[in-house]
Chains A and B, each alone.
Chain A
Amino acid sequence: MSTPDRDQNTANGTGFSRRDFIRGSGAAMAATAIATSTVEARADDKAAKPNVKPAEATEVTLTVNGKEHKLKLEPRVTLLDTLRTDLSLTGCKDVCDTANCGACTVHIDGKAVYACTRLAHDCEGKKITTVESLKDGDKVDPVVSCFVKHDASQCGFCTPGFVMAVRAFLNSKPKASLDEVRKGLGGNICRCGTYHGITECALEMAKGG
């Protein structure tokens, strides 16, 4: 059998030698991934105020969609788990848990944030907005309606995170160009392949549609 020369470390041969990873496959989809508009948690956010808590569950008050919730949580519990488990706000999805896919995107003080990157205790005193707030009975945010118009969802699992990313992106770039849309929404992943509809939606919204 003739097979090409292959890296013996991996079954996939040339695809994954560690030395060449950055030069090769690592760059394949990195172009837009690093340009996300979603702000990840940074160490220096917390540097200003030391916030040492005991390991056991303690009280924390979170302001979510304008409503205060008193909870008792261990300091390790993420905002994502809190929203989903304690508040049943399951529009933010637990998909990767590694700040890659954006399915858990919420807004903190108006900025898009991956909820899996924040600890619940660190969000005390902040204004947390989840996707559920974009629909109240028949009152629906225009981003939601525009997603529906352009069929920017299929299975719908990544969609709420994408909607929150688009909402924050348009808030900061209300007149975004196609190029800006392609870069600015690179922080979310869809498996069904709804990127075409999402692009159309974001562009229409940016044109004041």
Chain B
Amino acid sequence: MAELNVGWKPRKENEYLGKEIPRVEGNEKASGHAKFANDINTKGTLYAKLLTCKHAHARIKSIDLDAAKKVKGVKGVFDFRKFLDDPKAFEIHYDGTIIAAVVAERPEQAEDGVKAIKVEYEVLDHFVDEQDLKGATEKKRTGEVGNAKKGDVEAALKDAKHVHKGYYGIHTITHMCLEPHGSHCEWKGEDLKVHLSTQNVSGTAGQFAGSPLIGIDQANVEIVCNYIGGGFGSKFAADQWGICAAVMAKELGAPVRLMLDRATELKIAGNRPSGFGNITVACDAEGRITAWDSEHWGSGGFTDVDKPGKTIDINQFPYVFDFENRNRKATGINTNCGPERAWRAPPHPQLCALTCTALDDLAAKAGMDSLEFYRKNIDQLATKAANPDIYRAEFDIAAKLLDWKGKWHPRGEGGKGAVKKGVGLAIHRWGGAAHAATCLVKVHPDGTVESFAGSQDIGTGTRTCIGLVLAETFGIPPSMVKVNIGTNKYPQSGPSGGSTTIGGVSGPNRRAGIEALGKIFDLVAEKYSVKADTLSAGKGKIWSGGKEVCSWKDAAKLIGPTALEVQGKGPVKDGLTSLEVGGVQMVEVAVDTETGKVRIEKFVAVQDCGLIVDLLTAKSQVYGSLIMGIAYSLSEERIMDNKTGRFINADLENYKLPRIGDIGELIVEMYQPDSEYERGVIGLGEPPVIAPGAAISNAVANAIGVRVPVLPLTPQRVLDSLAKAKG
């Protein structure tokens, strides 16, 4: 067999890789024909609505579920206490906890059923203030989750030329998936088909099958997810509400669709935890950072009774950098808030928001331009895999695109009028290695190609990228490649988390494609009397030493009457994929010191990510990240009411997301020298969402001369910080 090099083609030979190619399912999505789990309406589908508890901490004294069963159209009621071995031990630990689901012929009838249920609660003591370490300690809600020392911080602080101490924080946000968590479950005999809104097509069947309330063979479960309306790290599990839908569908002998309502989606289906910290950082006269001392806390929400709470990972403080003398301590708080779930690049946005702000304040204290300060310290990176030269190159590109030199000024010299302008920067890092995945590639005798994988497209362009990898490999137009993903009945693929998918699926498809191509080259060699090892595929033809041997279609005919099938596996250390990216972001803001409103003027992101499969969808990931970053930097936060323990803005009116006019000018520059191409595919979806918080906060500080310590930088917080500085 022809031994082909599995590696990517020399860059300039590519017909499709790295070009801007629209996503294949674009028309289906934009015209509303794409069916999400939320849209599945098979005949006889029943609709579920949820009864949730509005208390932060309570027990059920009495409940009358039968009242719901008497309501017109109601077919059944599911009691969530069933998930406990001892239903009497059921306790509500946060607002939004599901008590029951009512299933009815129509959605509004299910709502009537929910309203008919009478519950009496015993309300218990609660604690929801994640920022209040003192209060949490008094209420015995805290636990130390790390305390480590390196070098001699005390001596370094003594020797330092500049020492800065500051308090920083970032509030909890939710995932706010526009398609809520949920599923449509339908039984045929012993077979369960679940249309699940999931980032984990291959990994959720067992959770349904193995639930004590279901208990069937895993082989009987089919998971389908052709489209998912946002997940961002929160949709990896079947979840209790998924099991509930399956159980009710079985019990009622009809399909059941259960999607969380908006408030419940926000309250219990995951959030990005908060982080607050007191940080001391010091440098020498040259601006070289010599010491770091941090003590941070926060909460991942309710963990478990009598367990210490969680907070963001101490081992990654300080973020991106590490210093010779470094102390760090962390305290977790157990609150009566919904539990955390992975949120796009966990927990890097919080780490960055606390680190890159403190470093910027130290630079200001030392009287240095922040960019020069970063350059001076960029060799003090925490991760050996990170490359300071990439950051250096990205600094230069970003600075040019924003005109950093022309726009930077010492703190507080942002103009004489009420509106002050300023610039800020921050950097990030991310791994993004390929996940474990397999695929099946079929080359049909008519020359069309199919790929099958139990993967999913969460918006990153999985289908499009698989198609481009195979089109490039066989030298055929992408329209000749059909990509089949979205069910666990296809070969197992990895979950889409950690920016692992594009690398995860590219490798196996390339490997399988190359193996198939080698087999086809053997057939071509025999038929046309050429040497197999001289052959290449491109532009719809097979070539030997620059001469056309035959068309791709003629070559494919040689396969015989049935398709040639090859399995692809990954990851393999063969250079197709690798890991570790950096990224530099610079932003210019305008701050109205009378209203406190921050406006984004210009936002520059320079991002490396190895080899780019599809430049169009890759850039979309960065644009989207900047917009999500603007959201959590300026307006988006979960607001908990201390008195009632309730999440009081769990809706799209008061949970404030930016709209199309709120984002300013965005400039995305993919850092793409040949050296990046040579690294192979690396994940991209997460890294660019990390730095916006610190970059925007630093720009605001540069503009108004005052640090607004806690994100998001709402007008109120900006005004408060200005007032505090005035005294």
Q: Which residues of A contact B177 (CB under 8 A)?
A: 191
In the complex, the answer to whether B662 meets A29 with C-beta atoms within 8 Å is yes
What is the chain B residue whose CB lies nearest that of A81? B107
In the complex, the answer to whether B29 meets A186 with C-beta atoms within 8 Å is no
Q: Which residues of A contact B131 (CB under 8 A)?
A: 3, 6, 11-13
Cβ-based interface call for B628 (8 A)? yes
Q: Which residues of B contact A90 (CB under 8 A)?
A: 32, 35-36, 38-39, 41
In the complex, the answer to whether B660 meets A182 with C-beta atoms within 8 Å is yes
In the complex, the answer to whether B624 meets A192 with C-beta atoms within 8 Å is yes
What is the chain B residue whose CB lies nearest that of A202? B660
In angstroms, Cα B370 to Cα A153, docked, is 36
Cβ-based interface call for B5 (8 A)? no
Choose from B176, B460, B656 the contact partner of A29 (Cβ within 8 Å): B656
Give, as a whole number of angstroms, the nearest-CB distance from B24 to chain A.
9
In angstroms, Cα B34 to Cα A144, docked, is 13
Q: Which residues of B contact A32 (CB under 8 A)?
A: 659-662
In the complex, the answer to whether A159 meets B715 with C-beta atoms within 8 Å is no
Interface size for B (C-beta < 8 A) is: 93
Give, as a whole number of angstroms, the nearest-CB distance from A166 to chain B.
10
Q: Which residues of B contact A92 (CB under 8 A)?
A: 32
Known: A10-B642, A103-B178, A149-B22. A23 touches B29 (CB 8 A): no
In the complex, the answer to whether B108 meets A28 with C-beta atoms within 8 Å is no
Cβ-based interface call for A20 (8 A)? yes
Choose from A84, A135, A154, A191 the contact partner of B39 (Cβ within 8 Å): A84
Give, as a whole number of angstroms, the nearest-CB distance from A189 to chain B.
5
Mark the stretch among B143-151, B523-531, B615-623 that contacts chain A. B615-623
In the complex, the answer to whether B662 meets A159 with C-beta atoms within 8 Å is no
Q: Which residues of A contact B405 (CB under 8 A)?
A: none
In the complex, the answer to whether A196 meets B666 with C-beta atoms within 8 Å is yes
Choose from A23, A143, A144, A191 the contact partner of B715 (Cβ within 8 Å): A23
Known: A1-B134, A28-B714, A151-B620. A188 touches B229 (CB 8 A): no
Q: Which residues of B contact A31 (CB under 8 A)?
A: 661-662
In angstroms, Cα B89 to Cα A31, docked, is 48
Give, as a whole number of angstroms, the nearest-CB distance from B500 to chain A.
17
In the complex, the answer to whether B32 meets A2 with C-beta atoms within 8 Å is no
In angstroms, Cα B659 to Cα A11, docked, is 26
Cβ-based interface call for A39 (8 A)? no
Q: Mark A183-205, 1 if CB is under 8 A from B, else 0.
A: 10111111111111111000000
Q: Which residues of A contact B26 (CB under 8 A)?
A: 147-148, 151, 153
What is the chain A residue whose CB lies nearest that of B24? A148
In the complex, the answer to whether A135 meets B656 with C-beta atoms within 8 Å is no
Give, as a whole number of angstroms, the nearest-CB distance from B183 to chain A.
15
In angstroms, Cα B29 to Cα A195, docked, is 16
Cβ-based interface call for A93 (8 A)? yes
What is the chain A residue whose CB lies nearest that of B130? A11
Task: Describe A's contact surface by its main secondary structure.
Answer: loop
In the complex, the answer to whether B31 meets A163 with C-beta atoms within 8 Å is yes
Q: Which residues of B contact A13 (CB under 8 A)?
A: 131, 710
Cβ-based interface call for B563 (8 A)? no
What is the chain B residue whose CB lies nearest that of A28? B635
In angstroms, Cα B659 to Cα A189, docked, is 6
In angstroms, Cα B662 to Cα A35, docked, is 12
Known: A10-B640, A88-B41. A98 touches B659 (CB 8 A): no
Choose from B35, B39, B171, B620 the contact partner of A197 (Cβ within 8 Å): B620
In the complex, the answer to whether A12 meets B31 with C-beta atoms within 8 Å is no
Give, as a whole number of angstroms, the nearest-CB distance from A1 to chain B.
5
What is the chain A residue whose CB lies nearest that of B47? A85
In angstroms, Cα B619 to Cα A136, docked, is 30
Q: Which residues of B contact A3 (CB under 8 A)?
A: 131-133, 167, 276
Interface size for A (C-beta < 8 A) is: 89
In the complex, the answer to whether B720 meets A4 with C-beta atoms within 8 Å is yes
In this complex, the member of A1, A12, A17 whose beta carbon has the largest number of chain B beta carbons within 10 angstroms is: A12
Cβ-based interface call for A168 (8 A)? no
Cβ-based interface call for A24 (8 A)? yes
Q: Which residues of B contact A156 (CB under 8 A)?
A: 25, 28-30, 34, 227, 229, 459
Cβ-based interface call for A41 (8 A)? no
Give, as a whole number of angstroms, the nearest-CB distance from A93 to chain B.
7
Mark the stretch among B350-358, B437-445, B475-483, B645-653 that contacts chain A. B645-653
In the complex, the answer to whether B652 meets A93 with C-beta atoms within 8 Å is no
Q: Mark A125-166, 1 if CB is under 8 A from B, else 0.
A: 000001110110000110111011101111111111001000
Interface members, chain A 10-47 (any B CB < 8 Å): 10-17, 20, 23-25, 27-29, 31-33, 35
Give, as a whole number of angstroms, the nearest-CB distance from A22 to chain B.
10
Cβ-based interface call for B663 (8 A)? yes
In the complex, the answer to whether B660 meets A195 with C-beta atoms within 8 Å is yes
Cβ-based interface call for A122 (8 A)? no
In the complex, the answer to whether B133 meets A1 with C-beta atoms within 8 Å is yes
Q: Which residues of A contact B596 (CB under 8 A)?
A: 24
In the complex, the answer to whether A154 meets B459 with C-beta atoms within 8 Å is yes
In the complex, the answer to whether A28 meets B634 with C-beta atoms within 8 Å is yes
Q: Mark B301-337, 1 if CB is under 8 A from A, else 0.
A: 0000000000000000000000000000000000000
In the complex, the answer to whether B659 meets A15 with C-beta atoms within 8 Å is no
Q: Which residues of B contact A12 (CB under 8 A)?
A: 131, 171, 637-640
In the complex, the answer to whether A155 meets B458 with C-beta atoms within 8 Å is yes
In angstroms, Cα B133 to Cα A154, docked, is 39
In angstroms, Cα B176 to Cα A66, docked, is 35
Give, as a whole number of angstroms, the nearest-CB distance from A84 to chain B.
7
In the complex, the answer to whether A193 meets B36 with C-beta atoms within 8 Å is no
In angstroms, Cα B656 to Cα A90, docked, is 26
Give, as a whole number of angstroms, the nearest-CB distance from B512 to chain A.
27
Give, as a whole number of angstroms, the nearest-CB distance from B677 to chain A.
21
Give, as a whole number of angstroms, the nearest-CB distance from B513 to chain A.
25
In angstroms, Cα B18 to Cα A157, docked, is 26
Q: Which residues of B contact A196 (CB under 8 A)?
A: 620, 623, 627, 663, 666
Q: Which residues of B contact A35 (CB under 8 A)?
A: 661
In the complex, the answer to whether A154 meets B620 with C-beta atoms within 8 Å is yes
In the complex, the answer to whether A193 meets B31 with C-beta atoms within 8 Å is no
Known: A29-B658, A29-B659. A96 touches B635 (CB 8 A): no
In the complex, the answer to whether A81 meets B29 with C-beta atoms within 8 Å is no
In angstroms, Cα B659 to Cα A181, docked, is 11
In the complex, the answer to whether B108 meets A74 with C-beta atoms within 8 Å is yes
In this complex, the member of B171, B634, B717 whose beta carbon has the largest number of chain A beta carbons within 10 angstroms is: B717
Q: Which residues of A contact B460 (CB under 8 A)?
A: 154
What is the chain B residue whose CB lies nearest that of A201? B30
In the complex, the answer to whether B652 meets A4 with C-beta atoms within 8 Å is no
Q: Which residues of B contact A154 (CB under 8 A)?
A: 459-460, 620-621, 624
Q: List 22 A-B contacts (CB under 8 A).
A: A3-B131, A11-B639, A12-B171, A24-B596, A28-B634, A29-B635, A29-B656, A32-B660, A74-B108, A76-B108, A93-B38, A93-B178, A98-B652, A130-B32, A132-B32, A147-B26, A148-B22, A151-B619, A154-B460, A154-B624, A186-B660, A192-B459
* Beyond known contacts A76-B108, A151-B620, A193-B626: 10 more, CB 8 A cutoff: A1-B133, A23-B595, A88-B41, A93-B229, A101-B652, A153-B26, A188-B659, A190-B627, A195-B659, A198-B660
